A and B are shown apart, each in its own frame.
Chain A
Amino acid sequence: MSTWRARLGRLFPTLVLIASALFFLLPVLSSARFALQKVPMVLLNWSNVFDGWSLRTLSQPFKEDNFWPTLSLSLKLAGGTVALTLGLLVPTALFVHLRLPKARAFVEFLTVLPYVVPPIALVAGVAAFFRPNARWYLNSEYALVPLYVVMALPFTYRSIDAGIKAIDVRTLVDASRSLGAGWVTTFRRALFPNLMSSLVSSSFLTATVVLGEFTMANTLAKRTFPTFLYEYYGLKAQSGTALALMTLIGTTALLGIFTLFTRRRGARVPTRF
């Protein structure tokens, strides 16, 4: 009786892991099969499920007229979001850390506020507020950049703040200043090298989130890469699935590179939450 239960106790975690692996891998595998198959879906059955492969769909999406323009817009948005995030948050976090430690809780509170306003509500508000007041802003190609900065704020601020906490900023600043360096030199030669890994990691995560953002782009009718993917899939499901799969692999690789950056410091796994 007791050995039976002990064996079950040991077997149970293994079963959980196997079931999870199946649940998380099957959709990826089936989409690869769907994207790369030559057998028409209607004729698909157990006997030909592994037959008839073709790589044709992998090159199809690149020939679309809208592929490169939307991808380049999304890359520009990602770059802009990262730049604005760093430009805004690094000075703020440093300032709060050095001069206004009392305001820390308040600033942290402000940075988690975007959790409460989901993208669809934020974009509704942006449309409501800027349409009568600043139409040129909504029409701009880069209107999404500040919205993406807001959306990414909770995790970008936390990651930058953690990077600052991990080093002794005050000593670095005092040492650098007493050696005669100005603020620019202090930041460039003393702080930046030490903050590098946390800045890079939050930038990678921001970029992947921007490259996959659909809700706000779709609602504001901006032609970004995810909206192209969505439209393209509606026209050509098979090549669309191939493109989705390639995008997935690309962004996962991006996140993978970024995990390598952070792991050296023993940081925790990156998330949006």
Chain B
Amino acid sequence: MPFLAFLFIFLLLPTYGVVRKAFIANDGGYTTEGFTDAISKEWPAFWGSLKLSFVTALLGVVFGTLLAYAAATARRPKWLRSLVASFSGVAANMGGVILAFLFISLLGRQGLATKLLTEAGWNPYKSWFNLNEFTGWVMVYMYFQIPLMVLVTLPAIDGLKPAWREASANLGGTTWTYWWRVGLPVLAPSMLGGFLLLFANSFSAFATVYALNTSANLVPVKISFFLQGDVTGRSPMPFALATWMIIVIAVSMGGYLVLRKRAERWQQQ
């Protein structure tokens, strides 16, 4: 079948190429040195990527669920829910250089908000904020992480039947009991799955952070740096980094796909 041949050539062979080159030394022999070097010498990049992915996934889950809940329960403007859903569809796809430019215009060193806040007496760059560093990356990533979480969790929130709430109240449960005993357990697989999806999404994101800071110490940026800097194409470093990256993402995406199956249990009509 042409489809299988295509996948073989353009997905499996390149992946194999990455993994193979991760284990080949400069002299052409087999070695695990590059593979272990990648994690020991480039540990700051890994730590940065893990930290960034963890923080943005966690915040994304919290704010995404809150936004989805607010949109799903709001009654008054009828179009609100579909507006939030459509907008999330657009914004979740929006990582990349454009997103970086939008935020530079707002919160860059010469950004509009930076200027106006400084004039009002508070310079964000003199306290904790810097768009080219961790705090700034987190803020920019939220722009696609929150909408992605909304997309994941909106069907789950729709799956919460009002009858359950009434049943809980009839049995003497408070709002707190309802959320703790009914709502959260039903939402839990979606939230945990969403966390893993967001984690993988942030871990693999390259363009956004590259446009903010080309020397960001994160795994994808390092891979690009080594790929472009190494003319001989012999160094195992970028490939070892990419192999580690595939491993991390495979674990979190695998968990997501399993949890998604479980989350869909309450979403059938």
Which positions in A face B, CB cutoff 8 Å? 9, 12-14, 16-17, 20, 23-24, 26-28, 30-31, 33-35, 41-42, 44-46, 49, 88-89, 91-92, 95, 107, 110, 112-131, 146-147, 149-150, 208-209, 212-215, 218-219, 226, 229-230, 233, 237, 240-241, 244-245, 247-248, 252, 255-256, 259, 268-273
Contact = CB atoms under 8 A, between A and B. Distances in A.
Given A92-B3, A124-B223, A125-B15, A241 B92 contact: no
B69 interface: yes
Interface secondary structure of B, over-half rule: helix
A165 to B, nearest CB: 15
Given A125-B17, A130-B14, A273-B151, 10 more contacts: A30-B113, A42-B110, A45-B115, A46-B120, A124-B239, A127-B233, A214-B211, A215-B210, A226-B96, A230-B211
Contact of B98 (A34, A42, A113, A248): A248
Given A16-B67, A17-B80, A88-B2, A273 B152 contact: yes
A80 to B, nearest CB: 14
Contacts of B253: 112, 115-116
A209 B89 CA distance: 12
Interface of B: 1-4, 6-7, 9-11, 13-18, 20-21, 63, 66-67, 69-71, 73-74, 80, 85-94, 96-99, 101-106, 110-113, 115-116, 119-120, 142-143, 146, 148, 151-152, 155, 175, 197, 200-201, 203-204, 206-207, 210-211, 220, 223-224, 227-228, 233, 238-239, 242-243, 245-246, 249-250, 253, 257
Nearest to B2: A88
A14 to B, nearest CB: 8
Contacts of A31: 101-102, 105-106
A273 B70 CA distance: 22
B105 A49 contact: no
A218 B97 CA distance: 11
B14 A125 contact: yes
A126 B14 contact: yes
A214 B102 contact: no
A124 B243 CA distance: 10
Given A121-B18, A125-B14, A271-B92, A116 B224 contact: no
A238 B267 CA distance: 47
Contacts, number: 238
A126 B239 CA distance: 11
Contacts of A113: 7, 11
22 contacts: A16-B67, A16-B70, A44-B116, A89-B3, A118-B249, A120-B223, A124-B18, A124-B238, A124-B239, A126-B17, A127-B233, A128-B239, A131-B233, A146-B9, A146-B10, A209-B93, A213-B96, A255-B93, A259-B86, A259-B89, A269-B88, A273-B151
A17 B10 contact: no
A83 B203 CA distance: 30
Nearest to A146: B10
A14 B96 CA distance: 30
